[in-house]
């Protein structure tokens, strides 16, 4: 499904790249560019730069670079078309994709619109309406003040059939497709949520896509006569997929990036509890187990994932798949050991410091499981220790890495006072004969063997390849006169055009970058048509400002050109020497030429004749190269 180039350009031009990136990392204005912590790698000092006018970003740490579209692709894990669509949506541009896609897109924005209005309506209802009194009391009793209610945009669905449907006045189809309501048996629009405190669930950019609703405790008569689940969530819809959505990611992402880790809870109140306990980098799955899609989403933000479930849930969650995801997505999964039976939401109310500590002292997933198995066993008798070791070994056997397994074997040998060699034999047996109790899982375990570490992943994406360490790239990017000259060529083209020549660039990538700038009307066009290495260099020099003039040193154009010319001429003279020694060029010719060039080289340093000498030397270099 292609989007015409001119529409892509239109979307790019309409996108405020600083606002876009600011949703993931706080940017500060430094001179003409913007700078902040890189959203693609963990760092403590800002090495990420954005040039707002050209619409490029570049990281001096991990060399990530690109424009608004590649940023969205990397962050949201979207393909090109979806990334453009998302940006078009933000910028209010209607793409003329084929009719069906257009309809689909319109449908989505209608649903998002309805959801936003519903969230606002419910929120105001909670803040102001008399019938929301008990809800406000309940929230206060949980320690949620007005700030918390406003930060998380909590709402109140009144105890009525159709209060929202009546207030919103959206078409029935929108009401039911968004999950906000449905058409009842008598053909009337009816609300989906009734008499519940509501937690809006947003996409990472903060647009509400669904709601989670909690009933108030002790609602007397009604609760007894019509028992209802404590929590009720929006159904999946065209704008809401449980497996791809994490509650509060939109609020937590700055904290996650700053911290380099994300705390994953089970419930909305757990997340809010974490925020209140000084851990504002928590999210929750929305009524579903942690799925691989969640990892795909999270690894954009942090490399360490802390599970903060109540202990039983954590022990049973996903198990062997967690190791697979750890490897595949290069993240570490650790578990916060919450004191007996408590969940983060409760703990935040009773002992917020304990919650923060449990997160800080989170243990590797396997360690957590082994500890729990041993804690549940009787280690005071030989039989008890053997049983506990055997049980723990089953957990150890699921880990895919033999080095890791062996460390746990030694640990178990110690703690259960069993011979390590015996445990290793037992472990080998367990590995070759997976437990038969759950044949489905055993089969799945084999089929889902973790892929090799360098698994191919959308290698068609030039942006991704920019992330990989590339030794050639590093030379081209190393600070020096070449990079300075390119910065000047981008930021002060009029001062550079007749002074800098491609021949002055020793590095082939820098040279191609310079030629690309000469050949195109805008940096953007140059980047578009360039190879990934060259594009990367161009983006880098676009986000950086050239050196400023200095009363002592004069205009940087002069000093940069001088340094470049001197370097190029010295290289050329050395080559000339080799050529003459090998007899390609007669000695007298070389001697005359060399003498003249050396004279110009001396003049280069003098302020009166420097410019002239520099121009002559550049001409000489160019002629030499052209073979004149």
CB of 55 to Zn ion, least distance (A): 18
The residue (of 42 and 190) whose beta carbon lies closer to Zn ion is 42
What are the helix (H) ranges across 361-480?
365-376, 382-397, 402-416, 420-432, 439-447, 462-467, 471-477
| DSSP letter assigned to residue 504 | G
The residue (of 346 and 466) whose beta carbon lies closer to Zn ion is 466
Residue 38 as a binder of Zn ion (CB under 5 A): the answer is yes
Residue 543 as a binder of Zn ion (CB under 5 A): the answer is no
Contact status, residue 244 vs residue 293, Cβ threshold 8 Å = yes
Binding segment (CB under 5 A) for Zn ion, from list 39-47, 78-86, 350-358, 574-582? 39-47
The residue (of 40 and 325) whose beta carbon lies closer to Zn ion is 40
Residue 268 as a binder of Zn ion (CB under 5 A): the answer is no
Tell me how far apart the alpha carbons of residues 451 and 325 are, in angstroms, rounded to a whole number.
Answer: 10
The residue (of 65 and 342) whose beta carbon lies closer to Zn ion is 65
User: Measuring CA to CA, which residue among 188, 195, 197, 206 is closest to residue 245?
Assistant: 206
User: Measuring CA to CA, which residue among 598, 508, 601, 512 is closest to residue 562?
Assistant: 601
CB of 302 to Zn ion, least distance (A): 14
CB of 65 to Zn ion, least distance (A): 9
Contact status, residue 553 vs residue 607, Cβ threshold 8 Å = no
The residue (of 41 and 424) whose beta carbon lies closer to Zn ion is 41
What are the helix (H) ranges across 144-218?
146-151, 163-168, 172-177
The residue (of 61 and 462) whose beta carbon lies closer to Zn ion is 61
The residue (of 41 and 117) whose beta carbon lies closer to Zn ion is 41
CB of 540 to Zn ion, least distance (A): 12
Residue 61 as a binder of Zn ion (CB under 5 A): the answer is yes
Residue 183 as a binder of Zn ion (CB under 5 A): the answer is no
Residue 37 as a binder of Zn ion (CB under 5 A): the answer is no
Binding segment (CB under 5 A) for Zn ion, from list 33-41, 207-215, 418-426, 578-586? 33-41
Alpha carbon distances (Å) from 536 to 476, 510, 543: 9, 10, 11
The residue (of 50 and 388) whose beta carbon lies closer to Zn ion is 50
Binding segment (CB under 5 A) for Zn ion, from list 61-69, 221-229, 439-447, 584-592? 61-69
CB of 280 to Zn ion, least distance (A): 23
Token pair listed for 225: 């006569």
Tell me how far apart the alpha carbons of residues 562 and 611 are, in angstroms, rounded to a whole number.
Answer: 9
CB of 17 to Zn ion, least distance (A): 16
Residue 467 as a binder of Zn ion (CB under 5 A): the answer is no
* CB atoms closer than 10 angstroms to residue 616: 18
Residues 6+ apart with CB under 8 A from 61: 38, 41, 43, 47, 48
Alpha carbon distances (Å) from 615 to 195, 483, 543: 81, 20, 29
The residue (of 63 and 499) whose beta carbon lies closer to Zn ion is 63
Residue 41 as a binder of Zn ion (CB under 5 A): the answer is yes
Residue 40 as a binder of Zn ion (CB under 5 A): the answer is yes
Residue 59 as a binder of Zn ion (CB under 5 A): the answer is yes
Residue 144 as a binder of Zn ion (CB under 5 A): the answer is no
Tell me how far apart the alpha carbons of residues 118 and 155 are, in angstroms, rounded to a whole number.
Answer: 9
C-alpha R_g of the chain: 32
CB of 543 to Zn ion, least distance (A): 12
User: Measuring CA to CA, which residue among 324, 417, 344, 429 is closest to residue 377?
Assistant: 417
- Exposure on the CB side of residue 478, measured as CA atoms within 13 A: 10
Chain residues binding Zn ion by CB under 5 A are: 38, 40-41, 59, 61-62, 64
């Amino acid at each position: 499904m292609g989007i015409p180039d001119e529409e892509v350009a239109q979307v790019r031009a309409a996108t405020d790249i600083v606002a876009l990136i600011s949703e993931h990392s706080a940017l500060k204005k430094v001179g003409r560019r913007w700078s902040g912590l890189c959203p693609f790698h963990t760092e403590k000092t800002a090495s990420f730069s954005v040039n707002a006018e050209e619409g490029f970003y570049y990281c001096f740490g991990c060399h990530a670079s690109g424009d608004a579209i590649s940023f969205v692709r990397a962050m949201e894990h979207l393909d090109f078309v979806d990334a453009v669509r998302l940006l078009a949506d933000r910028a209010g541009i209607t793409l003329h994709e084929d009719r069906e896609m257009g309809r689909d897109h319109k449908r989505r924005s209608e649903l998002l619109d309805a959801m936003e209005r519903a969230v606002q309506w419910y929120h105001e209802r909670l803040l102001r309406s008399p019938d929301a009194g008990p809800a406000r009391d309940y929230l206060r009793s949980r320690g949620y003040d007005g700030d918390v209610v406003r930060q998380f945009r909590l709402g109140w669905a009144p105890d009525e059939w159709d209060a929202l449907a009546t207030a919103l006045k959206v078409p029935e189809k929108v009401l039911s497709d968004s999950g906000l309501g449905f058409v009842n048996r008598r053909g009337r629009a009816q609300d989906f949520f009734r008499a519940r405190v509501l937690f809006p669930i947003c996409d990472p950019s903060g647009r509400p896509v669904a709601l989670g609703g909690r009933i108030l405790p002790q609602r007397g008569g009604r609760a007894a006569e019509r028992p209802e689940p404590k929590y009720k969530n929006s159904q999946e819809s065209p704008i809401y997929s449980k497996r791809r959505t994490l509650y509060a990611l939109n609020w937590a992402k700055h904290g996650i990036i700053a911290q380099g880790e994300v705390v994953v809870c089970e419930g909305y109140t757990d997340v809010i509890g974490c925020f209140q306990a000084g851990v504002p980098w928590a999210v929750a799955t929305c009524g579903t187990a942690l799925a691989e899609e969640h990892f795909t989403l999270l690894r954009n933000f942090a490399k360490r994932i802390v599970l903060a479930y109540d202990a039983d849930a954590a022990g049973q969650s996903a198990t062997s798949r967690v190791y697979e995801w750890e490897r595949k997505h290069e993240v570490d999964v650790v578990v916060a050991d919450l004191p007996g039976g408590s969940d983060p939401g409760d703990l935040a109310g009773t002992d917020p410091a304990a919650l923060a500590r449990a997160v800080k002292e989170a243990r590797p997933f396997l360690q957590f499981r082994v500890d729990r198995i041993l804690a549940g066993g009787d280690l005071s008798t030989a039989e008890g220790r053997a049983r506990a070791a055997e049980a723990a070994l089953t957990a150890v056997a699921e880990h895919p890495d033999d080095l890791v397994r062996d460390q746990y074997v030694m640990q178990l040998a110690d703690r259960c006072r069993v011979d390590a060699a015996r445990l290793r034999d037992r472990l080998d047996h367990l590995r070759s004969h997976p437990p038969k109790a759950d044949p489905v899982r055993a089969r799945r375990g084999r089929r889902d063997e973790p892929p090799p570490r360098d698994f191919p992943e959308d290698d068609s994406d030039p942006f991704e390849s920019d992330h990989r360490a590339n030794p050639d790239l590093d030379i081209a990017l190393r600070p020096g006169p070449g990079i300075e000259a390119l910065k000047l060529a981008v930021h002060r083209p009029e001062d550079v055009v007749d002074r800098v020549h491609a021949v002055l660039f020793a590095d082939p990538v820098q040279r191609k970058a310079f030629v690309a700038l000469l050949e195109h009307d805008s940096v953007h066009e140059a980047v578009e048509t360039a190879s990934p290495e060259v594009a990367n260099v161009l983006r880098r020099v676009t986000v950086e400002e050239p050196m400023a003039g200095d009363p002592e040193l004069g205009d940087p154009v002069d000093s940069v050109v001088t340094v470049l010319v001197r370097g190029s001429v010295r290289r050329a003279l050395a080559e000339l020497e080799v050529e003459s020694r090998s007899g390609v060029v007669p000695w007298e010719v070389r001697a005359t030429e060399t003498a003249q060039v050396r004279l110009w080289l001396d003049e280069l340093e003098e302020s009166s004749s420097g410019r002239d000498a520099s121009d002559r030397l550049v001409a000489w270099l160019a002629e030499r190269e052209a073979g004149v």
